[in-house]
Structure formats: C-alpha cells, structure tokens
C-alpha cells in the first residue's frame, strides 16, 4: 500500500520512520509540493489543500491529532476535495488523555487552593493565611465529554470535587452529573467555580466562552481553555476579569498562534498562558493506533474514530 504523510511545523522523519517500522510492507513517503501521485492513505496534520484536492485512490484520511477543525475547514471550503466515500479518522487518545488530566487538575487545584493569591502575597512579602475551602462545595464543570473530557471529569471526581459535564448530546460518565444540549446549558453553568473547556470547535461552539457564560458562574470563577482559541471571546474575558466576575483564566489555545507579542493576554496579571502544550500527540502512540486501524481497514473490519463531517467531530 502507499501512504502519504504530512506534518505541519514538525520534522516529519521521526513520524515516517515509526510508520515504516509499524507497517514495514507499506511504501511511506513525505508529501512535497507537486506530488499528485496516487495514495491509499493520507496521514496529515494541518495539510494544505493541494495535498488532498483530486487525490486519487484514497481509502481513508487520518488526522494526526484529536482536534480536526483545521482539516474540516479545508473540506468546508471545497466539499468536493474528497470523494464522499473516503472516511476521515481522528486520534482517540494517543497519549493525550493523561496530559490533559494533569493540566486540568493543576489549573483547578491552583484556583481551589488560592495559589495565585499566595503568589501575589509573596511579591508583597505578605504573610496572610486565606480561608480554607472544602472540595465538596467547589463545583467544577467540564465542557465536552469525549474521550479526553471524560477522563478529565473522572480525575476531578477522584480529587473530591462535585463535577458536572456538558455535551451536545446525552452522555454518561460515572460520578459526573451530566447535562446535554442548549436547554440544559444554564443549569450546567449555574454557580460553577471552574469551567474546563474541552469541546470540539464547530459552528455551534465558536465563541461559546463569552459574557453570557461568564455571568452564570460563581463570582470569582476561573476559566480553563485547553481546547481551541476560537471558543473564547477575548474581549468578554478581559471585561469579566476587570469586573471581578472572573478571578483568572488558564489559556492554552488562542485564535492567533503563536500569540502575538503585543497581545494584552501576555501581561495580564490574572491570565496564565501556555503555548498550546496541554496535550501533545506522541509519535509511538499515534502511529501505533493508526497502523492498527489501517490493518483493520485492509481486512474490511470496523474502525473507531471516524469523524462525522456534518457534525464537525
């Protein structure tokens, strides 16, 4: 079989080498501009339109990450880019779940234990013990209950927090009070101390972290965005922080990446910034998962992780 590989912004060779190790009988090549030769499978992260447009003989496309918004944007701009019978698959975990759990737990605990305030006190040489809060009375919400969001929600339950989860459709996660759809959104938000966003970015979720959402949280709540920058209305966040409705935000994804040096988030005293590292795909786990799925497809077996192009995830 012929496999075409493309990795935006990274050296493709370690990925191609791992793919060759896992599928030694496959012919694996890294895409170069002008390459329009047939391929059975495409493995890509943020591919240019030229890579996919008119590609002959494709059996499937694998997105090298959990977030599929960049790939879906290409397909929305040119629906005929792929034949309708070519499935598109995303990675389910590939080492990302544990990383997301660590990031979310750190951000929640930092707010719960008032570590930001203690850091500010240190700068003033102020020795003041702040009131102790009880985890049982500190509700945390997780938006998005896919594989990553469900793992984050369960981890926060294990830390003793009452956890609510919200998704577009009904979900069940043990120990989590689950809400679904627009009708249950306000009930999910009411009085939350922290919101952790892990939603996919779709037309329905664009700008969902806005002033309406912030107003329904407990006063002094915190936002943790480890999904996509397009979820956040930046001006609304700054206004909510200035008004005291939010006490802080942990942000890992941004509308413009890298975040421009003159962006107001960089020097805001109540915003923590990380450069989109909450969970990075690992080569061995990612390629291992894809290799197994290719073998299954070659044998006519069912494969998980298929993206519903109409729903956007």
pLDDT digits (tens), the chain, 313 positions: 999 999 988 899 999 999 999 999 999 999 999 999 999 999 999 999 999 998 889 999 999 877 788 888 888 888 888 988 999 999 887 779 999 999 999 999 999 999 999 999 999 999 999 999 999 999 999 999 998 999 999 999 999 999 999 999 999 999 999 999 999 999 999 999 999 999 999 999 999 999 999 999 999 999 999 999 999 999 999 999 999 999 999 999 999 999 999 999 999 999 999 999 999 888 999 999 999 999 999 999 999 989 888 777 7
**Using CA atoms, how far apart are residues 228 and 240, in angstroms rounded to an integer?**
19
Q: Are 77 and 48 in contact (CB under 8 A)?
A: no
**pLDDT score of 252:** 98
- Cross-strand partners of 141: 164, 195
Q: Which of 110, 228, 231, 293 is catalytic?
A: 228
- Output the CA–CA distances (angstroms, integers) from residue 92 to 68, 130, 307, in the order listed: 12, 41, 11
Known catalytic residue at 276: yes
- Tell me how many degrees the CA angle 71-12-33 measures, rounded to the nearest 5: 65
Known catalytic residue at 311: no
CB atoms within 10 A of CB 254: 20
**pLDDT score of 24:** 96
Q: Are 112 and 193 in contact (CB under 8 A)?
A: yes
What are the E-state strand segments in 154-305?
A: 163-167, 177-180, 194-197, 221-225, 246-251, 271-273
Single out the residue of 160, 149, 170, 168 nearest to residue 224, CA to CA: 149
**Using CA atoms, how far apart are residues 268 and 249, in angstroms rounded to an integer?**
10
**Using CA atoms, how far apart are residues 40 and 2, in angstroms rounded to an integer?**
5
Q: What are phi and psi of 281, to 5 degrees?
A: -65, 140
Residue 4: Cβ-neighbour burial (10 angstroms; 0-12, 13-18, 19+): buried
**Using CA atoms, how far apart are residues 180 and 187, in angstroms rounded to an integer?**
10
**Using CA atoms, how far apart are residues 202 and 54, in angstroms rounded to an integer?**
25
Structure tokens of 167?
Answer: 């998704």
Q: Which of 16, 55, 111, 276 is catalytic?
A: 276
**Using CA atoms, how far apart are residues 55 and 125, in angstroms rounded to an integer?**
64
Q: Are 43 and 5 in contact (CB under 8 A)?
A: yes
């Amino acid at each position: 079989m012929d496999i075409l590989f493309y990795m935006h912004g990274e050296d493709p060779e370690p990925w191609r080498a791992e793919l060759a190790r896992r599928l030694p009988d496959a012919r694996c090549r890294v895409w170069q501009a002008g390459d329009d030769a047939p391929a059975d499978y495409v493995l890509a992260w943020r591919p240019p339109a030229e890579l996919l447009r008119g590609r002959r003989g494709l059996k499937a496309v694998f997105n090298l990450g959990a977030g599929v918004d960049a790939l879906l944007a290409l397909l929305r701009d040119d629906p005929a880019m792929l034949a309708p019978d070519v499935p598109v698959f995303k990675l389910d975990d590939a080492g990302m779940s544990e990383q997301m759990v660590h990031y979310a737990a750190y951000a929640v605990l930092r707010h719960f234990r008032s570590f930001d305030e203690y850091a500010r006190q240190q700068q003033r040489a102020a020795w003041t013990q702040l009131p102790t809060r009880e985890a049982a009375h500190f509700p945390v919400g997780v938006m998005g209950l896919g594989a990553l969001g469900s793992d984050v929600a369960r981890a926060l339950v294990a830390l003793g927090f009452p956890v609510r989860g919200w998704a577009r459709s009904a979900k069940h996660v043990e120990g989590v009070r689950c809400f679904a759809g627009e009708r249950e959104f306000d009930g999910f938000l009411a009085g939350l101390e922290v919101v952790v966003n892990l939603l996919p970015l779709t037309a329905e979720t664009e700008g969902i972290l806005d002033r309406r959402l912030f107003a329904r949280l407990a006063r002094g709540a915190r936002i943790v965005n480890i999904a996509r920058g397009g979820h956040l209305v930046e001006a609304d966040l700054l206004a909510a922080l200035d008004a005291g409705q939010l006490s802080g935000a942990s942000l890992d994804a941004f509308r413009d990446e890298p975040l421009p040096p003159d962006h107001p988030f960089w020097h805001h005293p109540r915003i923590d910034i990380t450069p989109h590292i909450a969970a990075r795909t690992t080569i061995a786990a990612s390629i291992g998962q894809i290799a197994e799925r290719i073998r299954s497809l070659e044998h006519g077996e069912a494969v998980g992780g298929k993206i519903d192009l109409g729903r956007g995830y």
